[in-house]
Amino acid sequence: MEAKFDKGSEWRVWDFHVHTPASFNWSGSRKLSNTDLNSDEDKEIVDEMIEALNKADADVFVLMDYFTFDGWIALQKRLSMPNHPKLLKVVFPGIELRLASHKLPRLNAHVVFSDKITITELNDFKSRLTLDLVGKPLSDLSLIKYIRELPPSQLDSIDGDIINNDLDALKASKQKAELTVQSWKEAVNMYPDKAVPYLAWSTHGGATSFTKDNYQYVFDLMRFANIFEVKNQEEALTFQNIETDSNKLFLDEFQYCLGDKPCLAVRGSDAHRFKTSGEDRGYAVFPGNNKTWIKADTTFEGLLQAIREPSNRSFIGDKPDKLKAIEGNSEKYLDRVCISNHSSETAGEWFENIEQKLNSDLVAIIGNKGSGKSAFIDIISHVFEDKTDIKYNNFVKKFDTLNIGGNYKVNLDFMSNSENLESYLSKNDANVKDRITYIPQGYFEELCSDLSSNAFQNQINSIVFSHVPSDKVLGSNDYNAFISQDERTINKDILDVKGRIELISSEIVSYLNKTTSENEVKINNSLALEREKLEKASNEMQGLNTDIYGSLDDPLMKDVELAHMEMR
């Protein structure tokens, strides 16, 4: 489907992983038997797929069947037939593969292709893939050979007669076959502008199932892939090199493994049927409602742009914040500008039912001189009843001078459809209150022409003052008066606060001084008391000494001492 992008890049849901009735593990009621669509039943099956794609809640789909492009080929065949159903969605071819890791866990790898790639090129891509066990290019015959050479220990879960029945063998091989990593890389590199390598990360058969002993194997593939399939936005942020509480300890090392390049992380439905039945998800039914949103045109070039800017152009979850903001403030976002001629006098001279849709992220208009940039903004500001001197509003002035402004009606439609504005390209009434402030190019040049003048700053001040709530203007008539009054109020408040701080400081110092004086008295009193006790004890000790020495001079003590000497 050739898409028309009236608004440029917008947030849309992309389902990067859906299977078709050509897939060996399709769980729908009917499977495709032949890509030539020779039978009415095969045509009906593809028609049912087109209807399912059209009705599913996504704008873009990538077909990801194991080891085959048959689903894509059948879709292109049907769309080339007369009386085919119209495909309203964008669909890209893709392929899901399994890379050989020998005794390690299996690893699912994918490739997304441009919808401009030819079937011949897709078949050439397949022929460059090498089956690991048999060393043969990928084909139905080599797949059959592959399964028949597997040891019996790896065939326990296989149903059917793989020895005598080629269809059973082919189906079984698509469950078990593995390709060499080198051949996958070389095949992708053959189409650098039409093929994008895509690695399963935390989803089924993903790289997170590998242990630290196998990191070198994964490390090599991480630097090669451009897209990674993850489970949620938290994981996606790590690939986008955005720090969070959960990844801040390893983010730098992780980005090093990616080659220091932020990468696009996506979530696919991995649908194996058109509509959900039980636990089997249908198209665009994402696990945990973790939809993949891409802000880009629905083209392969748009996908490449998202790969270059993953943090700005991708999101996994129910809805990006920008879409929520628009929904909550739809009356503030312009949707389109319409200009119509209401007079036969100027028919065919200027505008005849012009409609220009606007992107919600529009911030600038670029173009060559004379391409209409200023005229476009002049018209929009005029409808908003801006009171800028008409001499600067060149485009509206031209209509006013020619006295034909009343012939042209301009409508500004908002996202809400409830606050739409309209006006003729005639001079605005100077008494109306303008809804916006507009600085036309001529006025801007005049304001900035004299570097020594404050004219531009004064204009900015005037705009700022116009947005001050009426109950806050403090009786001021302009920005400078408002600032002066506000400064006086603030300075008064500052002086009041400084006075209170000084008073509190004085009280603190007084308290500390009082506390210090009281403590000093208590300490001196205690010290005097202790000294008194010490003096009393000293006096008592001196009395005891006197008694002892007095006893030594007693005659009785001398007789005792003499007796002791005689005994010796």
DSSP code per residue over 302-340:
HHHHHHHSHHHHEEEES--HHHHHHHHTGGGSEEEEEEE
Q: What is the DSSP letter of 84?
A: P
63, β-bridge pairs: 18, 93
Spatial contact of 479 and 460, defined as CB atoms under 8 Å apart: no
Tokens 């593939």 correspond to: 221
How many Å apart are CA 158 and CA 175, to the nearest integer?
A: 9
Beta-carbon contacts of 280 under 8 Å, excluding residues fewer than 6 positions away, are: 27, 271, 272, 273
User: Per-residue pLDDT tens for 69-94?
Assistant: 999 999 999 999 999 999 999 999 99
DSSP alpha helices (H): ranges in 115-196?
Answer: 119-127, 140-148, 166-176, 181-189
Residue-level pLDDT, tens digit, the chain, 568 residues: 555 678 889 999 999 999 999 998 899 989 999 999 999 999 999 999 999 999 999 999 999 999 999 999 999 999 999 999 999 999 999 999 999 986 667 799 999 999 999 999 999 999 999 999 889 999 989 988 888 888 887 787 788 888 888 888 888 888 888 999 999 999 999 999 999 999 999 999 898 887 667 778 888 999 999 999 999 999 999 999 999 999 999 999 999 999 999 999 999 999 999 999 888 899 999 999 999 999 999 999 999 999 999 999 999 999 999 999 999 999 889 999 998 887 777 666 677 788 889 999 988 888 898 888 888 888 888 888 766 665 665 777 777 778 887 888 889 999 887 778 888 887 766 666 667 777 777 777 777 777 777 777 887 787 777 777 878 777 788 888 888 887 888 888 899 999 899 999 888 888 888 777 777 788 888 888 878 887 887 777 776 666 555 555 555 555 655 665 665 5
| Residue 539 token pair | 């006096």
Each residue of 97-110: b (16+ CB within 10 Å) or e? bbbbbeeeeebbbb
Task: Tell me the DSSP string of 245-296.
Answer: TTTTTTHHHHHHHTTS---EEE----BSSSS-BTTB--TT--GGG-EEEEEE
Cα 129 from chain centroid (whole Å): 35
Measure the CA–CA gap between 346 and 73, rounded to whole angstroms: 53
Q: Is the pTM of this model over 0.85?
A: no
**Distance in angstroms (rounded) separating the CA atoms of residues 123 and 558:** 137
For 349-381, letters b (16+ CB in 10 Å) and e give ebbeeeeeebebeeeeeeeeeeeeebebbbbbb
Copy the structure tokens of residue 453: 């003048």
| Cα–Cα distance, 233 to 237 (Å, whole number) | 6
Residue 420: is it exposed, middle or buried by C-beta count within 10 angstroms (0-12/13-18/19+)? middle
Q: Which of these, 68, 2, 64, 71, lies nearest to 32 by C-alpha position? A: 71
